């Protein structure tokens, strides 16, 4: 009986060929299971994402699409492009922060540019395959799997950035080759809020930028915000969102027929 070593560097168990999992018929790499293969591939994708190995080719420039659909004025686009020269921000982010475009219109145009559909997810939706992939993968590529039907072999996911769909299609296409997979775009804040609700809010809040505010005060503000979000979840608040405004946090949502907006400052 031939013996093999699991190709997952985090596992490397000894296994027999009869019990080994191969990604496809041509593959020579053996794994303990599909879960073990998914873990190994996840970290490969995370590494590729960190190094920026995959770059999506844009069919049409964002500015041209915005002008064609009459969502910005030419002078607004020129001002944003000028600001982008001295910024690391993306054009869409600058237009959004400047108030030249709404988040819904930006999402629609980015989806059109990427050739996928926009989607509006429920903030209370349950994250599928949460225990199948490492948590770091969800936060690194900022995506949500909102449909996973093993019987019908259907899978749907939404990402915050169109460029990350290249990594995600590679990952999911190799792990679930026999599934009908649909890809969507969703607003980044909504994706992060869903991840925060499913994994806990701490990581999301810690990754927020708060300018020059004192670190100790930021920690206290974040803890207060985390406690408040936990309270909102316990009383079944809906549409809960976390946004940053300079050196403060804004938490908004809906409770019954009332909408609320609370600010936390260091």
Average pLDDT over residues 88-107: 84
* Count of other CB atoms within 10 angstroms of residue 123: 17
Q: What is the mean pLDDT of the chain?
A: 82
The pLDDT value recorded for residue 215 is 64
Dig out the tokens for 175 from the structure: 């792990």
Between residues 166 and 227, which one has the greater pLDDT? 166
At 56, the pLDDT band (50, 70, 90 cuts) reads low
List pLDDT tens digits, range 200-225. 755 555 555 555 455 667 667 777 88
Residue 67, pLDDT > 60, answer yes
Between residues 144 and 225, which one has the greater pLDDT? 144
List pLDDT tens digits, range 148-157. 999 999 999 9
CB-facing half-sphere around the CA of 113: CA atoms within 13 A: 24
Dig out the tokens for 38 from the structure: 């998914």
- For 3-24, what is the HEC assignment? EEECCCCCCCCEEEHHHCEECC
Average pLDDT over residues 121-128: 90
Residue 68, pLDDT > 90, answer no
Would the pTM of this model clear 0.75, i.e. be above it? no
Residue 195, pLDDT > 60, answer yes
**Helix or strand or coil: residue 244?**
strand
Average pLDDT over residues 74-101: 85
């Amino acid at each position: 009986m031939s013996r093999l070593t699991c190709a997952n560097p985090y596992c490397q168990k000894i296994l027999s060929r009869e019990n080994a999992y191969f990604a496809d018929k041509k593959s020579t790499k053996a794994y303990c299971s599909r879960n073990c293969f998914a873990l190994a591939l996840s970290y490969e994708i995370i590494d590729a994402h960190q190094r920026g190995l995959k770059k999506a080719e844009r069919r049409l420039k964002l500015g041209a699409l915005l002008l064609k659909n009459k969502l910005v004025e030419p002078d607004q686009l020129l001002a944003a492009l000028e600001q982008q020269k001295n910024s690391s921000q993306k054009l869409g982010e600058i237009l959004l922060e400047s108030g030249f475009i709404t988040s819904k219109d930006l999402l629609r145009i980015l989806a059109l540019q990427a050739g996928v559909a926009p989607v509006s997810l429920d903030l209370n939706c349950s994250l599928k395959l949460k225990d199948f992939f490492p948590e770091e993968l969800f936060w690194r590529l900022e995506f949500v799997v909102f449909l996973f039907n093993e019987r019908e072999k259907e899978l749907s996911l939404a990402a915050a950035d169109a460029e990350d769909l290249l990594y995600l299609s590679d990952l999911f296409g190799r792990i679930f080759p026999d599934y009908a997979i649909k890809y969507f775009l969703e607003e980044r804040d909504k994706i992060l809020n869903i991840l925060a609700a499913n994994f806990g809010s701490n990581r999301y809040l810690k990754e927020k930028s708060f300018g020059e505010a004192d670190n100790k005060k930021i920690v206290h503000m974040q803890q207060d915000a985390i406690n408040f979000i936990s309270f909102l979840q316990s009383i079944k608040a809906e549409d809960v969102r976390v946004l940053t405004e300079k050196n403060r946090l804004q938490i908004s949502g809906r409770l019954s027929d009332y909408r609320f907006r609370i600010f936390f400052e260091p």
